[in-house]
């Protein structure tokens, strides 16, 4: 039986199927034989900052410098790290060196106590943090989104250009690439005898659809999650159409055009909308611990109810392939429920669907459906061959019939859970650091992703309500 850490490494190995670029000259801090990677955590406010440290890593110093203004965000972050250190199963051994004060950011830039800055928190200054850390010659591993308003997109473009000149890496944390059902959806879409070709679709009937449902009240790392007040201020967190949507747009690029370089001009948004989730004062109190709505949120309160524009939907075409993404937030999941993900890739021969509802016990399951009338035995033979073709990379996967479709069965070792995906992203980032660069398609595709989302942001506000 592979334990959680072993499973993380196992899935990392099988999912990183693309070849890394040949090593190139890197900055002195990345050169062969240099000191271990030293992490800096900047202004942690989102629990994702802690999840980067849920496990230890080879060649990463256990001493982590934290720079923050102080307050509840920092306290909650340090508590999460301490829980990782104190757990009975695979405890970590992080030692946090904390600096607080009004000059925390300037202090971080001047001291350069580490060579990788982890940024996950209030997004209002995210682009500034990213840009100035790169200017200081530091590598950056940033949580999504790196941009929440169109005005910051140009600054992010400049940061990527400067990172290349300075020989440092700038990367965002795309955990959903490591969900096994998504990995297999992508892999099976490249089995032409089974899937055929990706259809182009239409705005009304897209080739790819991705729907994500999240919840404000949830349990993270074994404890009820305490949300910061600013998380409910879209001027600081970002609207739904620029936040979780980042993952869905990334997956569409990654699955439809694997390892291909995309440009912002390849994506045209044709429809976008935004809508709010209402939260009562009691609901707000239960997830923040704060008894009243803060002044920053008063403009979003009507009749003692807070309206958070955490929901967004967009339809666009990418190199002629039509796609739709939708993100919505509710206060809490139904009993036994969780965040959910629904995804469809439509091929000329087969459709690949991920469902994660009550029928699947709220765990994602991948299904294969025939896209055309034909011989069922012949289609099943194509599926058997496709699964066999993937055994070397994903040993143990299989299938079973389920109604009129086929469910892809996945060994338990691959089901590591969302929290473990942060370690997988970090392991990949560390590999890129060792060779001194990202795959050539990553940077242009990150910029294409954010440019697409900013298109949707602007279009959604034309009919703002």
Q: Is 337 helix (H, G, I), strand (E, B) or coil?
A: coil
Residue range 35-64: mean pLDDT, rounded? 94
The CATH number that applies at residue 362 is 3.30.360.10
Is 454 a member of any domain? no
Mean pLDDT value of segment 35-53: 93
Mean pLDDT of the chain: 91
Which of the four pLDDT bands, split at 50, 70 and 90, describes residue 223?
confident
Three-class SS of 253-291 = HHHHCCCCCCCHHHEEEEEEEEEEEEEEHHHHHHHHCCC
pLDDT digits (tens, 9 = 90+) for 15-31: 333 333 333 333 433 44
Number of domains in the chain: 2
3-state secondary structure of 151: helix
Residue 457 counted as domain residue = no
- Predicted local distance difference test score (pLDDT) of residue 434: 93
Question: Is the Cβ–Cβ distance between 298 and 284 less than 8 Å?
Answer: no
Report whether pLDDT(457) > 70: yes
> What's the average model confidence in pLDDT over 167-178?
97
Could you give phi then psi for residue 86, rounded to 5 degrees?
Answer: -95, -5
DSSP, res 57: -
Query: Given this model, what pLDDT does residue 19 score?
Result: 35
How far apart are the C-alpha atoms of 26 and 232, rounded to whole Å?
A: 40
- Sign of CA pseudo-dihedral 199, 203, 205, 207: positive
Asked if residue 423 and residue 406 are part of one domain, the reply reads: no
Spatial distance between the Cα atoms of 91 and 63, rounded to a whole number of angstroms: 15
Band (pLDDT 50/70/90 cuts) for residue 209 is very high
Residues 222, 300, single domain; the answer is: yes
Confirm if 374 and 366 have CB atoms less than 8 A apart. Answer: no
Question: From CA 451, how far away is CA 335, in angstroms rounded?
Answer: 38
More confidently predicted of 286 and 375: 286
User: Structural domain of residue 253, as residue ranges?
Assistant: 177-416
Q: Which positions ≥6 away from 151 have C-beta within 8 Å?
A: none
For residues 332 and 194, membership in a common domain is answered with yes
- Reduce the DSSP state of residue 459 to 3 states and report it: helix
User: Residue 453: inside a domain, yes or no?
Assistant: no
Give CA angle at 379 (376, 380), nearest 5°: 85
Q: Encode pLDDT of 178-198 as tens digits.
A: 999 999 999 999 999 999 999
Tell whether 429 and 356 lie within a shared domain.
Answer: no
pLDDT at 2: 37
Residues 329 and 341 occupy one common structural domain? yes
Q: How far apart are CA 394 and CA 45, in angstroms?
A: 36
405 domain residue, yes or no: yes
| 87 pLDDT above the threshold of 50 | yes
What distance in Å separates the CA atoms of residue 91 and residue 86, rounded to the nearest whole number?
A: 6
Q: How confident is the model at residue 387 (pLDDT cuts 50, 70, 90)?
A: very high
pLDDT at residue 151 tops 90: yes
Spatial separation of the C-alpha atoms in residues 128 and 147, rounded to whole Å: 10
Q: What percent of the chain has pLDDT over 90?
A: 84
* Dihedral over Cα of 53, 56, 57, 60: its sign: positive
What pLDDT sits at residue 339? Answer: 86
Alpha-helix residue ranges (DSSP H) falling in 36-117: 48-51, 72-86, 104-111
Lowest mean pLDDT among 55-59, 153-157, 199-203, 217-221: 217-221
Question: Are 389 and 426 part of one and the same domain?
Answer: no
Give the separation between CA 92 and CA 86, rounded to whole angstroms.
8
Residues 290, 309 share a domain: yes
Q: Which residue has the higher pLDDT, 418 or 26?
A: 418
Confidence at 361, pLDDT banded by 50, 70, 90:
confident
DSSP 8-state assignment for residue 463: G
- pLDDT at 464 exceeding the cut of 70: no
Instruction: Classify strands 116-119 and 139-142 as parallel, antiparallel or unpaired.
Output: parallel
More reliable by pLDDT, 3 or 96 = 96
ω before 93 within 30° of 0 (cis)? no
Q: What is the CATH number of the domain that holds 123?
A: 3.40.50.720
Q: For the segment 420-449, what is each residue's pLDDT rounded down to a tens digit?
A: 999 999 999 999 999 999 999 999 999 999
What phi and psi, each to the nearest 5 degrees, are found at residue 63? -90, 120
Q: How far apart are CA 281 and CA 285, in angstroms?
A: 6
In a domain, 463, yes or no: no
């Amino acid at each position: 039986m592979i334990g959680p850490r072993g499973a993380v490494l196992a899935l990392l190995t099988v999912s990183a199927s693309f070849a890394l670029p040949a090593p190139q000259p890197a900055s002195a801090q990345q050169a062969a034989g240099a000191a271990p990677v030293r992490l800096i955590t900047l202004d942690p406010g989102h629990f994702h900052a802690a999840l980067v440290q849920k496990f230890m890593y080879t060649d990463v110093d256990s001493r982590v410098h934290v720079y923050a203004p102080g307050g509840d965000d920092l306290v909650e972050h340090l508590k999460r790290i301490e829980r990782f250190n104190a757990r009975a199963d695979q405890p970590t051994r992080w030692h946090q060196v904390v600096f607080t004060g009004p000059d925390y950011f300037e202090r971080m830039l001047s001291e350069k106590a580490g060579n990788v800055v982890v940024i996950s928190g209030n997004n209002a200054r995210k682009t500034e943090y990213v840009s100035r850390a790169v200017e200081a010659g530091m590598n950056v591993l940033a949580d999504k989104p790196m941009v929440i308003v169109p005005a910051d997109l140009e600054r992010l473009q400049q940061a990527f250009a400067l990172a290349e000149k300075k020989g440092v890496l700038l990367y965002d944390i795309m955990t959903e690439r490591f969900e096994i059902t998504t990995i297999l959806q992508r892999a099976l879409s490249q089995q032409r005898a089974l899937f055929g070709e990706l259809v182009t679709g239409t705005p009304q009937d897209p080739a790819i659809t991705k729907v994500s449902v999240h919840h404000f009240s949830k349990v993270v790392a074994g404890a009820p999650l305490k949300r910061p007040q600013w998380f409910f201020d879209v001027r600081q967190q970002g609207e739904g159409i620029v936040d979780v949507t980042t993952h869905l747009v990334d997956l569409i690029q990654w699955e439809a055009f694997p390892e291909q370089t995309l440009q912002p001009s390849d994506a045209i948004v044709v429809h976008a909308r935004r809508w709010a989730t209402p939260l009562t004062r009691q609901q707000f109190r239960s997830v923040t611990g704060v008894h009243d709505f803060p002044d920053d949120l008063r403009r979003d309160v009507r009749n003692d109810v807070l309206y958070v524009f955490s929901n967004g939907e967009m339809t666009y075409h990418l190199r002629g392939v039509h796609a739709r993404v939708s993100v919505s937030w509710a206060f809490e999941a139904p009993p036994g429920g969780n965040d959910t993900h629904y995804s469809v890739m439509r091929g000329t021969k087969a459709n690949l669907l991920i469902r994660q509802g009550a029928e699947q016990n709220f765990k994602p399951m991948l299904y294969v459906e025939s896209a055309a009338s034909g011989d069922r035995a012949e289609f099943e033979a194509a599926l058997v061959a496709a699964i066999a073709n993937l055994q070397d990379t994903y040993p143990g996967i299989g299938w079973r019939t389920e109604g009129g479709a086929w469910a892809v069965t996945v060994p338990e070792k691959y089901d590591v859970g969302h929290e473990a995906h942060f370690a997988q992203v970090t392991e990949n980032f560390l590999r890129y650091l060792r060779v001194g660069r990202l795959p050539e398609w990553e940077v242009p595709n990150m910029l294409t992703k954010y440019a697409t989302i900013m298109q949707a942001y602007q279009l959604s506000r034309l009919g703002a309500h």
